[in-house]
Amino acid sequence: MKEIVCPNCGATFDAREPKCPYCEYINPLGAEAKYLRDLEDTRLNLDNVDEEAEDAYIKDIKSGAKFALKRIIVIVLLIAIFVGGGFVIHKIKEGKKGNFSDELLWEQENFPIFDEMLDDGKYQELMELLLKYGDEHNIWNWERYDEFEKIASELWGTPEEQEETGEDQEETGEDGE
Ligand SMILES: [Zn+2]
């Protein structure tokens, strides 16, 4: 430890002190040294602050990435559910309708029967058959479907009229009881 003699009061003190501890006389060399030490301390503190900030930033990025990844997984799952569900529904519908060649065979078998019934005037039976097959087969592919529809609407009215008549009948039935 280097000591100096105070030019003001003659006491000796550490050369690194910025002031004489006895008379507070300014020691220029010590003051400069202290200034440099303080500067260095500040710089080290700033370094620490930078490191802490950097750590926090990296954590943010990591958690942000995790969050983004979770969101992507959720979105992919949702898409998979929608697409998968749509595919299953499509398959069920397809299965219900049967495949194309089976449907063609059914038409070749049944449309001539419909023709015969139409020609024979068996409208009630034909109507019942069409209602029975309507859910499973493309009955409107029958080339005389329109022709029969006209006859049916003349006989029993349009579907709307039929519904109204049906409701009226139900109401009358309830009133009767
Ligand atoms: Zn002094």
pLDDT at res. 177: 43
- Ligand 1: distance of its center to the CA of 13 in Å? 9
Angle, alpha carbons 4-6-10 (nearest 5°) = 110
pLDDT in tens, 32-70: 988 898 999 988 888 888 788 888 888 888 888 888 888
Query: Distance (Å, rounded) from C-alpha 118 to C-alpha 159?
Result: 19
Long-range contacts of 107-114 (CB under 8 A, 24+ apart): 107/137, 107/138, 107/141, 107/142, 110/137, 111/141, 111/142, 111/143, 114/142, 114/144, 114/148
List pLDDT tens digits, range 138-161: 888 999 999 999 999 998 886 665
* Ligand 1 centroid from CA 10, angstroms: 6
Question: How far is it, in rounded angstroms, from Cα 44 to Cα 22?
Answer: 32
Rounded-to-integer distance, Cα 166 and Cα 157, Å: 12
pLDDT tier at 176, thresholds 50, 70, 90: very low
Residue 172 has pLDDT above 60, yes or no: no
Ligand 1 centroid vs 7 CA: distance in angstroms?
7
- Distances in Å between the alpha carbon of 116 and those of 1, 42, 105, 161, 176? 126, 105, 18, 27, 41
Q: What is the mean pLDDT of residues 87-109?
A: 79
Q: How far is the CA of 37 from the centre of ligand 1 (A)?
A: 22
Given the structure tokens 């009215």, which residue do they identify?
157
Centre of ligand 1 from the C-alpha of residue 33, in Å: 18
Q: How far is the CA of 38 from the centre of ligand 1 (A)?
A: 23
Query: What's the token pair of residue 27?
Result: 């020691």
Task: For 102-144, write each residue's pLDDT tens digit.
Answer: 888 999 999 999 999 999 999 999 999 999 998 888 888 999 9
Ligand 1 centroid distance, CA of 36 (Å):
23
